Amino acid sequence: MRAKLIRIQPSLVPLLNSFLEKSIGDLSRFFKFGEEEMRILSDVDAAAEEIRPVEVESYLKREVNLEVFTILSRHKLSGMPVSKKYGGRDANPLVSALAFERLGQVYVGLGAITSMALCAKTIEDWGTEYQKERYVLPVCRGESILGFALTEPEAGSHIDGIKCRYEERGGHYVLNGTKYLVTNGVIADALITFARSSESNSITAFIVDKKSKGLTATPLKEKMGGFTSDLGLVEFDQVEVAKENVLGPLDGGKKVAYSAFMGGRLRLAAVCLGVMEDCLSSSVERVKERVTFGKVLGKQQLIQEHIAQMVMNLEASRWLCYNAAFRLMDWEKDRKNLTLRRDADQAVVIAKRMAAEYAWNTADRAVQIFGGFGYSIMSSPTRHLLNVRVARIGEGTDEILSLKIAAEILGKEFESY
């Protein structure tokens, strides 16, 4: 019975490849893809096909999908956005967005994305040479996993509310506190974390080895989706951190976090595109096959309305994401230019805010199209629906991003978050 249900899953390969081809074709009008960029995308395409069945199997067993790290490493993608000097592929924001769009079709587990993009890239941007060699290179070689531990039980949206403390003692820093909802929190080899100074009250970023004495990590398994991604509660009890493991300037932790979010939010938005594409392609196939009232579903006008809305959700989100990627690229060429930074930040926030909402709406419509079978986690729209909900919470909730978008237009004195 189970095998038969799985067979109902349409074969999506040709359509998925065509989404990637379409995106590259559309963007070629504005951007010249080089040979290495096309190679990265072709590697991502091959990796995505390998990930799909493994991900489904892990999902149905509700197991963390560690194989995804191996597959990405085999295709030399573990450090995709990181520069070649540290073992990455130097994928610019646009190529990264396309890569995560393709991966999002098959894998919404946040683990690999957090490790390579949110963490390795942030250490590359802010770290010392020692930190890059010690923490970034192993990620790019597929030998290490990183996590980003900012949220606490009593502080998520409000960074200034974090209570985790650090103090200087005996030539190093000592951390105390609890971090909550940490992707890769249990499986990571090291974490980027944030703590408040006992003296100055300002926030500093640290890289902490998971094996440090006094650090404990507990898995958080009671969640609505994303079963293939590790999530943990991390406690620091008198954890000693070497001074050379301060990431970025002392007291400059908020800057490190905000810059990590710029790239991170775009990549999450791109994953949402992949979710919409997969939901659309499986729905198109389904409505051409499923017969009710003597004709295929696709000929029912109310079903066509769902398809039309899904297409519009996807198209609107795609161009918001690509625009944000171009803005980020403009800023990366001239990092000191604050106007370019603000433009990029606003474009990324808008893209993430909209893509997350549209992906949720699209997955919900796909579930509706699949009917009763769409209520089972055996169907891919359901898995997408449960997984993608987090995109409206992580790396800035819908509400916080709306406030940020409004404040950018109204002026700093209207900031209400």
Ligand X SMILES: Cc1cc2nc3c(=O)[nH]c(=O)nc-3n(C[C@H](O)[C@H](O)[C@H](O)COP(=O)(O)OP(=O)(O)OC[C@H]3O[C@@H](n4cnc5c(N)ncnc54)[C@H](O)[C@@H]3O)c2cc1C
Name which position in 157, 200, 337, 339 contacts ligand X (CB under 6 A): 157
Tokens, residue 104: 């999002």
Long-range contacts: 413-417, Cβ < 8 Å, 24+?
Answer: 417/157, 417/158
Interaction between residue 394 and ligand X (CB under 6 A)? yes
By Cβ distance, which residue is nearest to ligand X? Answer: 156
Interaction between residue 400 and ligand X (CB under 6 A)? yes
DSSP designation for 235: E
Least CB distance to ligand X at residue 149 (A): 6
Whichever of 228 and 283 has its CB closer to ligand X, that residue is 228
Give the interface segment with ligand X, choosing from 242-250, 313-321, 339-347, 398-406 (CB under 6 A). 398-406
* Residue with tokens 């531990």, as numbered in its chain: 149
Least CB distance to ligand X at residue 250 (A): 20
Interaction between residue 151 and ligand X (CB under 6 A)? yes
Distances (CA, A) of 19 to 12, 104, 274, 299: 11, 12, 9, 24
| Measured distance CA(157)–CA(257) in Å, rounded | 12
Residue 46: closest CA among 27, 67, 74: 74
Least CB distance to ligand X at residue 392 (A): 8
Q: Kindly name the residue from 395, 399, 408, 413 that is annotated as catalytic.
A: 395
DSSP designation for 56: H
Residue 69: closest CA among 17, 135, 113, 121: 113
Give the interface segment with ligand X, choosing from 27-35, 75-83, 290-298, 388-396 (CB under 6 A). 388-396
Least CB distance to ligand X at residue 166 (A): 17
Whichever of 208 and 231 has its CB closer to ligand X, that residue is 231
Whichever of 174 and 188 has its CB closer to ligand X, that residue is 188
Whichever of 107 and 322 has its CB closer to ligand X, that residue is 107
Residue 325 — φ and ψ, nearest 5°? Answer: -65, -45
Whichever of 284 and 386 has its CB closer to ligand X, that residue is 386
Spatial contact of 408 and 342, defined as CB atoms under 8 Å apart: yes
Interaction between residue 405 and ligand X (CB under 6 A)? no
Residue 205 — φ and ψ, nearest 5°? Answer: -95, 140
SS3 call for 191? strand
Interaction between residue 183 and ligand X (CB under 6 A)? yes
| Measured distance CA(158)–CA(141) in Å, rounded | 35
Q: Is position 399 annotated as part of the catalytic site?
A: no
Whichever of 149 and 354 has its CB closer to ligand X, that residue is 149
Interaction between residue 310 and ligand X (CB under 6 A)? no
Size of the site for ligand X (CB under 6 A): 21
Give the interface segment with ligand X, choosing from 19-27, 203-211, 282-290, 394-402 (CB under 6 A). 394-402
Q: Is the dihedral of CA 329, 340, 79, 152 positive or negative?
A: negative
Distances (CA, A) of 129 to 123, 171, 245, 254, 333: 10, 21, 11, 21, 21
Name which position in 31, 33, 373, 417 contacts ligand X (CB under 6 A): 417
Tokens, residue 87: 């073992």
Interaction between residue 133 and ligand X (CB under 6 A)? no
Whichever of 139 and 314 has its CB closer to ligand X, that residue is 139
Whichever of 23 and 184 has its CB closer to ligand X, that residue is 184
- Beta-carbon contacts of residue 111 (< 8 Å; ≥ 6 apart): 64, 65, 68, 69, 145, 183, 184, 187, 228, 229, 230
Name which position in 195, 231, 314, 328 contacts ligand X (CB under 6 A): 231
Name which position in 123, 181, 203, 314 contacts ligand X (CB under 6 A): 181
Interaction between residue 360 and ligand X (CB under 6 A)? no
Give the interface segment with ligand X, choosing from 59-67, 176-184, 201-209, 264-272 (CB under 6 A). 176-184
Spatial contact of 383 and 59, defined as CB atoms under 8 Å apart: yes
Residue 271: closest CA among 147, 53, 146, 98: 98
Interaction between residue 191 and ligand X (CB under 6 A)? no
* Residue with tokens 């039309």, as numbered in its chain: 308
| Measured distance CA(118)–CA(112) in Å, rounded | 10
Least CB distance to ligand X at residue 401 (A): 9
Residues 61-120 that bind ligand X (CB under 6 A): 114
Which residues lie near ligand X (CB under 6 A)? 114, 148-151, 156-158, 181-183, 226, 231, 390, 393-394, 397, 399-400, 403, 417
Tell me the catalytic residues.
Answer: 395
